[in-house]
Structure 1
Amino acid sequence: MTADRTALAGARLVLPGGVIDAGRISVEGTRIAGLGGEAEPGDLDLTGYTVVPGFVDLHVHGGGGASYASGIAEEALTAARTHLEHGTTTTMASTVTGEIDEVCRQAAVLSELVEDGVLAGIHFEGPFISHNRCGAHRPDLLRDPDPALVRKLADAGRGHTKMFTLAPELPGGLESVRMLSELGIIAAVGHTDSDYEVTLEAIDAGATVATHLFNAMPGIQHRAPGPIVALLEDERVTVELVNDGVHLHPSVVELAYGTAGAERVALITDAMGAAGMGDGLYPLGPLQVRVEDGVARLVEGGSIAGSTLTLDVAFRRAVTVLGLSLNQAVTSLSTVPARLMGLGDTIGTLEAGKNADLVVLDSDSYELAAVMRRGEWIVGADRFARAGNPA
């Protein structure tokens, strides 16, 4: 086969219509050319492996010791590459709270990487969030969501701003949600002290995402259901969950799935620079984070500061810890976030004509074995023998 044409045979394929135990995928250039058919001599033999669509991360701040909030292109490239090697073939880079002009500068750098095809968009998390629920965001830099300032940041993304997280109860919050919705930018409710009623108003105004549901928002009370219940019960809302075993107890994740269903859950990393690295000290925007035993916490105050999660681990936990089906896991790690970003026609499922973004997993352990992005092997291609050839 030529370099731009290959086929993978013998793998378990997780397709939109179900799971095929021993299937074949043919790839031409950057696209999936077809699914099905008999194995042919020269095909890569993937017997014993499972192939799923490339993962899509809506919410990630960094990895590989690098941060998207650094404003340095080389760091952003390192972060993107780190997560790519763990199966995230589509990344929306997230910023953190900073001075408005500095975050605008960061957005200009990230927008160039979107134009280069490295990233798929920009997510602004902060500074328009609640002091009471700011988590790993610097309190003195927080702002009310004045629509003019929100628009300034949105415009700094040069057409590549995809999502804003804000607290709708703050002055200007609901107006900003309406404006973002009119601009075609996802308005996400997060880092909020909102109550049930205001959250419903935000949803009616156009908010469609819950930023890391349960985290950085009031809990459920029997006479004050708060934002969690409002976000879970409304079919217009996609809920982000951090399935790392630290942010959420597995039973809470199961509760969200039982209420919203896989079609409304996006599993995210919320990863900071320590993802793919070891314990130590790392920056998160203007703050310092200490990672111990893989758990990231602020040096000052000890608040959880993002995660060290990668999406291959999130997938494995979804199947082996939560007991999700392969199709449910694929839905939450690929299909739902792809659709939310408006990219469902090209990524998010294994279908002919879509990008050849593939993750290959061991069928027994679900450990990552290989990653392909747009027809190019990123890691793991040397694992597989050619059919009809000696191993």
Structure 2
Amino acid sequence: MSATSRILAGRILTSQGWLDGELTVRGERIAAICGTPVDDDGKACRYILPGFIDTHVHGGGGADVMEGGEAAVTIARQHARFGTTSLLATTMTAPRADIEAALSAIGAACRERAPGSARILGVHLEGPYINPGKLGAQPAQAKAGVLDEVEAFMCLAPLKLITVAPEVSGHLDLIRSLADRGVRVQLGHTLGRYEDGVAALEHGASGFTHLFNAMTGLHHREPGMVGAALAHAEYAELIPDLLHVHPGAIHTALRAIPHLFCVTDSTAAAGMPDGDYKLGSQPVTKCLGGVRLADGTLAGSTLTMNVALKNLVGIGLTLADASNRLSRYPADYLGVTDRGRLEEGGYADLVLLDTQLNLNEVFVEGECLGLADA
């Protein structure tokens, strides 16, 4: 057997269900999986799950995506220590020149994975094509989107996902053009009505950005953007830090949206002590488990994906279901077939957990990484 091979034993979550057995890592790939099928999560000494895929990451380890330079690599290293094996670097609303500088740095980081880091699959452009009346923690520099500008951005880094407010003039046509180019469009930071959400889905939008947050809520006479998501969405992202969304609302979304998946919306404060940080150009403060602007507005999170897994299990999801919503469903949403699931021939992106769901080891493309202290 090759010196680069390693055999891992435990309860393995495969695409076909749980196995008690062994998984062989050889180089960057999964060479073999064998074992005995078991019916459910049960109790095991060790679980082997697909590595987490986070489509909404602004920062971590004190670094923010909008800083450019080596920030994206710092962020990818920090989140890998918590089990995220691939991610989308997520921008903020900003002047065009600032976005272009950030995208240039992310593009370089996408071309080659740095040792010890998660794979940066591309960019989630969150803003500037949002409603100025629903900024959340975004700076007040929102504007209508035009295809020429987006195409210029695409030359700098792979844009995999763009958040758009569909009610802004011209945005339905923009959504159609982006969908035709294979870009996932999510609806978010929006004052749009239910009807605006339905129209956007008909034009090719495929998801919703941090469901429930920074969008019009559900009322029985005005269903809002939340109503459009609950009635019609196949996919939507949600922040399961139990601060942004109440567990009851999470369960509501789980019943309504077949492939609801979870993200961190993490900031530079993720994995860091309480204190002052930046979210794009916005000063933010981490305290009491959250990140806020000076006026108290939630400004992203401090969540990491290993904690997201525990939170989902804690509110009643099975381990397999929670894993799917952190790995398989985001992979499917992005059209990625060789990550987000444990299959022979796929990338060896995986996490090993003890019986309390604490991380033991993380592998990214076959590389075994060191873990965070906490």
> Quick one: which amino acid aligns to residue 293 of structure 1?
L
CA distance, structure 1, for counterparts of residue 244 and residue 317 of structure 2: 19
Task: Report matched runs for 1:189-200 at 5 Å.
Answer: 189-200=187-198
Give the structure 1 partner of residue 282 of structure 2: 287
Q: Give the structure 2 partner of residue 101 of structure 1.
A: 97
Cα offsets for 1:357-380 (capped at 9, x unmatched): 1101112x1111110111111026
2:349 alignment partner AA: D
CA RMSD between the two structures = 1.4
Q: How does 1:133-212 map to 2 (within 5 A)?
A: 133-139=134-140, 141-157=141-157, 160-212=158-210
Q: 1:355 aligns with which of 306, 330, 347?
A: 347
Separation in structure 2 between the aligned mates of residue 51 and residue 283 of structure 1, nearest angstrom? 35
Contact 1:14/1:327, CA 8 A, preserved across alignment:
yes
2:166 touches 2:196 (CA, 8 Å); kept in 1? yes
Q: Of the candidates 45, 60, 65, which is equivalent to residue 63 of structure 1?
A: 60
Residues 232 and 239 in structure 1, CA contact (< 8 A), matched pair in contact too: no
Distance in 1 (CA, whole Å) between partners of 2:167 and 2:186 is 13
Aligned partner of 1:309 among 277, 286, 303: 303
Deviations 1:230-279 (A, max 9, x none): 122225x4110100011000111111001113xx1111000000001111
| 8 A Cα contact 2:217 2:227, kept in partner | no
Give 1:189 shift. 0.4
Q: Displacement of 1:37 after TM fit? A: 5.1
Q: Following TM superposition, by how much is the alpha carbon of 1:169 offset from its aligned partner in structure 2, in angstroms? A: 0.3
1:258 is aligned to 255
1:124–1:164 contact (8 Å) kept in structure 2: yes
Separation (CA, whole Å) in 1 of partners of 2:122 and 2:150: 16
Counting aligned pairs with the same residue, the percent is: 37
Give the structure with higher Rg (CA).
1
Which residues in structure 2 correspond to 1:318-357 (within 5 Å)?
Answer: 318-319=312-313, 321-344=314-337, 346-357=338-349
- Show the counterpart of 1:92: 88
Matching residue of 2:366: 375
1:7 aligns with 2:7: yes
Aligned equivalents of 1:128 and 1:330: distance in 2? 31
Return the offset for 1:104: 1.1
Partner amino acid, structure 2, of 1:303: T
- Separation of aligned partners in 1, 2:3 and 2:201: 48
Residue-by-residue CA offset, 1:181-228 (whole Å, 9 max, x unaligned) = 111111110000000111111000000010000000011011000111
Aligned length: 359
With the length of structure 2 as denominator, give the TM-score of the two structures.
0.93
4+ runs of 1 displaced by more than 6 Å?
Answer: none
Deviation at 1:328, TM superposition (A): 0.9
- List alignment gaps of at least 5 residues for structure 1: 39-46, 381-391
Distance in 2 separating the partners of 1:230 and 1:370? 40
Could you list the runs of 5+ residues in structure 2 that have no partner in the other structure?
37-43, 114-118
What is the identity, as a one-letter code, of the residue corresponding to 2:88? Answer: M
Q: Note if contact 1:145-1:171 (Cα within 8 Å) is conserved in structure 2.
A: no
Q: TM-score, normalised by structure 1?
A: 0.89
| Structure 2 equivalent of residue 18 of structure 1 | 17
Q: Which amino acid aligns with 1:281?
A: D
Shift of 1:146: 2.9
**Residue deviations 1:10-53 (CA, integer Å, cap 9, x gap):** x1111222222x31111111111111159xxxxxxxx7111100
Partner AA of 1:110 in structure 2: I
For residues 190 and 231 of structure 2, the distance between their equivalents in structure 1, rounded to whole angstroms, comes to: 18
Partners of 2:154 and 2:159 in 1: how far apart?
6
Return the alpha-carbon distance in structure 1 between the equivalents of residues 309 and 66 of structure 2: 26
How far the C-alpha of 1:2 sits from its partner, in A, is 4.4
Q: For the Cα contact (< 8 Å) 1:60–1:271, is it kept in 2? A: yes
CA distance in 2, matches of 1:3, 1:82: 28
